[in-house]
Amino acid sequence: MNVVEKLSGWRTGRRDCIAGLAALGLAAATHAAGKTRAPVILVVGDSLSAEYGLARGSGWVELLRQRLAQDKIEATVVNASISGDTTSGGRARLAALLKAHQPTHVIIELGGNDALRGLPLKNTQDNLAWMTQRAQDAGARVLLLGMQVPPNYGGDYGRRFAQIFQDVARETKAALVPFFLQGVADGPDAARLFQADRIHPNAQAQPMMLDNVLPQLKKLLR
């Protein structure tokens, strides 16, 4: 074999090798593209989601993990709730949470402590809207958990506070649970479902709270 023949064979072999590597790369990329990322659900809430006064593992967020597993829905649930948190606190820490966990879904359960502290309703609405939009900008679907205040706050204040969640959901096109504690705080035997402080739901109420959240969340997971 002369030098020309050797060079020709080397070039042919090199072209075949490059073509083979390209084919392998294309196959790997196609496989990766066809593989769907499992949902990561980030819960940003206050004491209602942070298992305040409850045995660890008995709160509605932990029950959510269990229910999704029972329903054969592969998902990671991250509970970033802090007792006593307000919408301002949630807003301050949201960016770091989005960066750390890269959620596909964000559940925002905040606002109740704003009302208890008498914070301006406009601030609460602005914070909820900001959090919702930032989570959406990060690629997550958002579920807002609406809250209501007891009648002693006054009818007008109560209506305006509940309307905040409706308005934010409509403006941002986020999903909404109108009243997170439906059937718990407004039921005929509400006292039975609360801890001694009459503010925090007890363990018996946690499955009911989950049942209020799950239908809307499953729509987003589809």
Catalytic machinery residues: 47, 197, 200
CA distances from 62 to 2, 42, 55, 69 (A): 74, 12, 11, 11
| Helices 87-101 and 121-137, axial angle in degrees (round to 10) | 10
3-state SS class at 126: helix
- CA triple 209-125-147, angle to 5 deg: 20
Greatest alpha-carbon pair distance for the chain in Å reads 100
Give the containing element (helix H, strand E) for 42.
strand 40-45
